[in-house]
Amino acid sequence: ETGVTQSPTHLIKTRGQQVTLRCSSQSGHNTVSWYQQALGQGPQFIFQYYREEENGRGNFPPRFSGLQFPNYSSELNVNALELDDSALYLCASSFSGVRELFFGEGSRLTVL
Amino acid sequence: QQQVKQSPQSLIVQKGGIPIINCAYENTAFDYFPWYQQFPGKGPALLIAIRPDVSEKKEGRFTISFNKSAKQFSLHIMDSQPGDSATYFCAASVSGTYKYIFGTGTRLKVLA
């Protein structure tokens, strides 16, 4: 059974740029969620995707957007990067109706 | 009302000790309470979870105690080992959503 995989693991961007982060769900999982974890903080919910549609969103601006593909993999896109966007971005997958959420290792984004 | 308050912020115990981490919530709609373990540079890993119809749950050396009337729950780690040194997060979610509300984390250090 393959776990949740994310890419890239680390990346550095400058303010105003755009970034795309990718996630492959754990085998058999059809729901994906994205979380932002600032240094020394708990993860914060960005949004969730099910059947290729956004199905729940946290308190993040529209410049945070996502996609889910037919194979249940997902992308997180962030436009107009700000310094405060520097964080660990975590993808988590689950099977619809099952409460357990399984996280990937994350993508560490640094915005300069 | 959406917060989950976690304490202490950090904890140091001797090997074999029983660290206890506490969490409190306000939203009575929360019905699923997982605990996650996170090592530096890694994603959170699910340890154990409980629902409010159960007062205690054990899995290996990890025990959750749940007090529904007080809206509090806690994690106990029996016979703690240096390998348990990590950051622990409690979380809560409402049925039908994968929007987990995480606590701020407890950094545990187990001395050899």
Q: In this predicted structure, what is the pLDDT of residue B45?
A: 95
Across the interface, of A35, A100, A105, the residue whose CB is closest to B46 is A100
Residues of chain A where predicted confidence (pLDDT) is lower than 50 = none
Q: In this predicted structure, what is the pLDDT of residue A2?
A: 67
Residues contacting A110, CB < 8 A, separation 6+: A10, A11, A12, A13, A86
Q: For B69-98, what is each residue's pLDDT tens digit?
A: 999 999 999 999 999 999 999 999 988 777
Is residue B43 less than 8 Å (CB to CB) from chain A?
yes
3-state helix, strand, coil split of chain B in percent (to 5) is: 5, 55, 40
Q: In this predicted structure, what is the pLDDT of residue A95?
A: 85
Instruction: Please measure the distance between the N-terminal and C-terminal CA atoms of chain B and give it in whole angstroms.
Output: 39
The SS3 call for residue A49 is strand
Across the interface, of A33, A41, A42, the residue whose CB is closest to B98 is A33
Spatial distance between the Cα atoms of B107 and B9, rounded to a whole number of angstroms: 6
Q: In this predicted structure, what is the pLDDT of residue B73?
A: 97
Q: In this predicted structure, what is the pLDDT of residue A97?
A: 78
Please give the structure tokens belonging to residue B78: 């029996």
Q: In this predicted structure, what is the pLDDT of residue A71?
A: 87
Phi-psi region of A52 (alpha: psi -120 to 50; beta: other; left: phi over 0): left
CB atoms within 10 A of CB A19: 18
Distance from CA of A68 to the nearest CA of B (A): 15
Q: In this predicted structure, what is the pLDDT of residue A1?
A: 54
Cβ distance of A100 and B49 shorter than 8 Å: yes
Interface A–B counts its CB contacts (< 8 A) at 58
Q: In this predicted structure, what is the pLDDT of residue A26?
A: 85
Query: Distance between alpha carbon A63 and the CA centroid of its chain, in Å?
Result: 13
Spatial distance between the Cα atoms of A37 and A47, rounded to a whole number of angstroms: 13
Cβ distance of B98 and A48 shorter than 8 Å: yes
Q: What is the mean pLDDT of chain B?
A: 94
Q: For B17-70, what is each residue's pLDDT tens digit?
A: 999 999 999 999 999 999 999 999 899 999 999 999 999 999 999 999 999 999
Distance from CA of B87 to the nearest CA of A (A): 9
Across the interface, of A42, A90, A100, the residue whose CB is closest to B104 is A42
